[in-house]
Amino acid sequence: MEGFQITLFFQENKRHKHQPLADWIVGEAKRLGIGGATVVHAAEGYGRGGRLHCARFFELAEQPVEVTLAVSPDEMERLFASLRAEKVEVFYVKVPIEYGMLSSAATP
């Protein structure tokens, strides 16, 4: 299948509707019928302001988070429409991809 890899970037302390933003995004992706999402908590990174964000004992709230999804063009439009409607502010990367499932069941 042809589609996009969408990766959303934000900090651990971001919340939406009284829950961690990563949890809300994963729940919203599931509600929209998107087949899966992966949440990665990074050790460190920096944003457009150049300020370093890292996962230190006293700074866990600033830990960088990525949510990655492989989506069809229609799923991408629904996800972005939902994020816009909810006024969710995140940085994203959108990359065209080919995706699918490999299975040993089809191999003799």
Using pLDDT thresholds of 50, 70 and 90, give the confidence band for residue 83: very high
- Model confidence at 55, in pLDDT bands (50, 70, 90)? low
Nearest CA to 68 out of 45, 95, 47 is that of 95
Using the 8-state DSSP alphabet, how is residue 72 labeled? -
Pairwise pLDDT comparison (48 vs 8), residue with the higher score: 8
How does residue 12 score in pLDDT terms, banded at 50, 70 and 90?
A: confident
**106, pLDDT greater than 80:** no
Nearest Cα residue to 44 out of 26, 27, 65 = 65
**Mean of the pLDDT values across residues 39-50?**
79
Kindly list the strands in the beta sheet with 2-11, ordered across the sheet, starting from the edge strand earlier in the chain. Answer: 38-41, 64-71, 2-11, 91-98
Q: Where does 2-99 sit in CATH, by number?
A: 3.30.70.120
Structure tokens at 17: 């509707």
User: With bands split at pLDDT 50, 70 and 90, how would you rate the model's confidence at 36?
Assistant: very high
Look up the pTM and report it.
0.83
- Domain ranges (residues) in the chain: 2-99
Question: Is 5's pLDDT higher than 90?
Answer: yes
The reported pLDDT for the residue numbered 54 is 62
